[in-house]
Structure 1
Amino acid sequence: MAATPPFGIAEPAYQDWARGEVAHWRAEMLRPPGVFDRAAKGVQSRINRVIPEAVHDAVTRVIEQMTRGMLVGADWTTAAPMMDAPLSVRDARAREVIATYRTTAAVEGGVAGAGGFWLAAADFPALIAIKIKLLFDLAGVYGRSGQDFAERLFLLHVFQLAFSSPTRRAEVFHLLQDWDAREHPHGLDEFDWRTFQQEYRDYIDLAKLAQLIPLVGAPIGAMVNWRLTERVGDYAVNAYRMRWLG
């Protein structure tokens, strides 16, 4: 979870604090994988071999369809961009938005975890939808229009960063740096969907698999969804801070 911002300080001091938070986040994103990271990757690979291929295929299709819909579809409603507000106000509003979605995700995960395999399986697309809508709302909080394709592409990279392995994370982070100073593609022909899907699945599979355990599936589902939603929200906040501070 992100650090709690200082209360009641002037905007320049707040921006200095936020700049320090972004620097800390940047260092974490660029940290090379450690022994634990490599061991966790090995465990995840073994789990992937146990999970039925039909489940993997279904999740893969859902991830690609929903993320493509985020970028090219017209059915995602977006909040109007917040105008003429300092960074401290935007950050405060972002925390409120994240809290709302975090609670929604936790309730959905608890219900799915209590319902056995099929409801738990249905939780995958539901959670993706919650996180995507959260990203759109956070774009509006930081004054960006989710109707712009380049902004949707930015949100796709934030989503990818939040659920990338340490070996992939630095590469995705560099794509977000100096975003507004670079030209961006107008289509998805060159986007690596295979890596995107596998990285996301590998990140969440271990946590979501525990949701299938009888009796404890509901509290585990609620906790996992809470944390996954909070994670993508925190990453979005720091990514937008990085753009704001230049």
Structure 2
Amino acid sequence: MTKSLQSALAPLFITSSFHNLGLFEYPIGQPRLYSSCLYALAKWSIVMYLYYPVLIYTWQNNFGQFIKFFLTILTVFTSVFVSLYRYKELKVCLHELSIVDDTLEALGAPKKYRVLRKWILRIIIGWNIYSITKFVRTISIVIVLYSFQQISFSYLYDLFIIFYINYVITSSALICGTVLGYTSSRFHQVNNLLRTIYSNIFENNADYRCTMQNRSILVSQRITGAKNRKQYMWIIK
């Protein structure tokens, strides 16, 4: 049974750590900064060393393709750097979000960590299957268009690196989308519960309703007179 938000998101962060979009944690909850940075430095150094001839070739023969490759590499390096640099802040935010989940559970809203974990596993498996299928399909097309003898190992490696870099960029977007989507859903539940509590107070206490009605009229007048109107969420004490 999934008891915490960290354990529900564990498959996502374990997968991302192998792509340098997060820190290795062993055990869960104890990030290994130096090991993660050393792994990222070693892996991407080897990748760029072997991919360097492709950049030189495109620089000399197809400058437009070189710009495309350069921007893609710059994007993936930026994603890796930001992910590692902000990882601690992300964990703090998730810890605070778990406190919100505990509060919502006390108010009657279930956590649904098990459902979240299942959805994350489905997303990871589906995305990996799609990426592998797309890579195999591309290789098959190349083999059909050209003879197998003309395809060298270096060409296949370069093709794999291009796919992998795009895979890392898209994985970074999926991680952000998953975390932000879950955060948004929980705060929507907070807002709905506050509305329910607010309506219950008004229905069960006539005197309190009269007092709060006068305050609501005053606040409504202030909001109406404001130039930039925004949405407000009320916390009732």
TM-score (norm 1): 0.27
Whose radius of gyration is greater, 1 or 2? 2
Higher relative contact order (CA 8 A, sep 6+): 1
